[in-house]
Amino acid sequence: MNINRIIFAIEDCISTLSRYSVSAFFPDYCDLHTVIGLDQQDRERRPWLKAPYIATTKQGYYLSVFEISGALKEMDENPDQTAPGTLESLIAALAERMNTAWKNSGHKISFVFERDPERGRDEIEAMLLPQRKSIARTGILLQDVLDEKVTTLTPWLVRERCWLTVWSSEELLSRTDRKDHQTRVRKLAEHAPPARFAQDPWRWTLSALKIRHDALLDTLEQALTHDSDGLLIRLMDIHEVGREIRRQLERNSTPAVWQPHLPEDARPAGWRQGGDTSVFHAPSLNLQLFTTQPETHGSLIQGR
């Protein structure tokens, strides 16, 4: 029996058991580790992206997130109506286009919803920020008018968000591709300096997996927009994804400009500890996102 299969089976078993046990080290609950950097084709196809849009997990999954802002136009939700512009038409088109993508195992998607009645004021302040800046530049005394608008609208506004999360795993690849990748990683690891707590994108860079992951992203994007009759979606970079994850855990202390350090960002400063070179690299994503011990109430986690 292949020794690698035995090792992977044991690792998966330990990982599964750890999810249902209590860990004293909270970052263990986060699977995110590093990112796959932008290549020239990415910059040409999505020139607005300033940071990578693919994160990797410790199990080798590729992860990307779409933000769904709403529908491009109001849809008829009557199940008997199937004309273009109806919800049934969008569902049928989505099922038809995604049929090929789900023929083989390896892809996963999930929807994440947020509803926070206490963040209505923050939403209004964000929308009024350009007006406040204009007033400050022109010197017009209208701050009281904007403050009154915030006070009036706050009770009627709720922060709502929806994200579509997409995973792609090595199951999509042939056994030969996986074996070649493992061989390449072992050779690189023999010469790479130890960096226990750092991101190491070279361990997870698989061009064949990235091609399949990008193909799924394109298919989803085209299916959901549905020729301008569907949803308004936007591919997020990992800076944004990390900020949203951190904000879910530390709602009252995460700045609006916070973002995780990625390999292409400015290097964190510090002192080298022995032979470990982690300080010269960006820390693993789970160490940056899950930084505090949460307050739990049964099966619920309260963000601070």
Residue with tokens 């569902």: 91
- For the cut 50, the answer to whether the pLDDT of residue 264 exceeds it is yes
According to the model, what pLDDT value does residue 26 have? Answer: 65
The pLDDT tens digits of the residues spanning 170-186 come to 888 888 888 888 888 88
pTM of the predicted model as reported, rounded to 2 decimal places: 0.80
Please check whether residue 87 is in contact with residue 240, taking contact to mean a CB–CB distance below 8 angstroms. no
According to the model, what pLDDT value does residue 279 have? Answer: 77
Contacts of 198 (CB under 8 A, 6+ apart): 277, 278, 280, 281, 282, 283, 284
How many beta carbons lie within 10 A of that of residue 154, not counting itself? 16
According to the model, what pLDDT value does residue 127 have? Answer: 83
- For the cut 80, the answer to whether the pLDDT of residue 243 exceeds it is yes
According to the model, what pLDDT value does residue 2 have? Answer: 60
- For the cut 70, the answer to whether the pLDDT of residue 303 exceeds it is no
According to the model, what pLDDT value does residue 8 have? Answer: 59
Burial (0-12, 13-18, 19+ Cβ within 10 Å), 62: buried
According to the model, what pLDDT value does residue 168 have? Answer: 92
Instruction: Compute the average pLDDT of residues 133-145.
Output: 83
- For the cut 50, the answer to whether the pLDDT of residue 167 exceeds it is yes
How many beta carbons lie within 10 A of that of residue 101, not counting itself? 16
The pLDDT tens digits of the residues spanning 89-127 come to 888 888 888 887 787 788 999 999 988 888 878 888 888
H-run or E-run covering 94:
helix 87-98
Please check whether residue 283 is in contact with residue 277, taking contact to mean a CB–CB distance below 8 angstroms. no
- For the cut 70, the answer to whether the pLDDT of residue 7 exceeds it is no
